[in-house]
Amino acid sequence: MVVPFEALTRDSDWTEGRSLGEAARRAINLNYYSRHLVSALRFVCLDNLTHSLVGLFLARAGFKKATPQATAILVLAANIPDLDAVSLLGGAETYIRWHRHLTHSLILLPLMALLAVALVRLLGRKPLKWLPGWGIALVGVSSHLLLDLTNIYGVRLLMPFSGRWFHWDITSIIDGWIGAILALGIIGPALGRLVGNEIGDRKKSTGAGWAISVLVLLVGYDSMRGILRNQVVSQVEAQHYQGLTPRRAGAFPTGNPVVWAGMAELSNAYVMVPVNLLTGLHVNDADVIFKSEQTAEVNTAMRSEPFQRFLEFVQWGIWVTDPSPDSEFGTRVTLVDLRFGTPRTPGFASVATVDRYGKLLNSYFTMSGTNSR
* Cα–Cα dist 339/136, whole Å: 34
Quote the pLDDT of residue 134. Answer: 97
Going residue by residue through the chain, which has 373 residues, state the pLDDT in tens, using 9 for 90 and above. 554 544 443 333 333 333 334 443 444 444 433 444 445 555 567 788 999 999 999 999 999 999 999 999 999 999 999 999 899 888 888 988 999 999 999 999 999 999 999 999 999 989 999 999 999 999 999 999 999 999 999 999 999 999 999 999 999 888 999 999 999 999 988 887 776 666 766 666 668 999 999 999 999 999 999 999 999 999 999 999 988 999 999 999 999 999 999 999 999 999 999 999 999 998 888 999 999 888 999 999 999 999 999 999 999 999 999 999 888 889 999 999 999 989 888 889 999 999 999 999 999 999 875 544 3
What number of residues does the chain have? 373
Quote the pLDDT of residue 12. Answer: 35
Every domain of the chain and the residues it spans: 37-171, 296-366
Quote the pLDDT of residue 23. Answer: 41
Quote the pLDDT of residue 20. Answer: 37
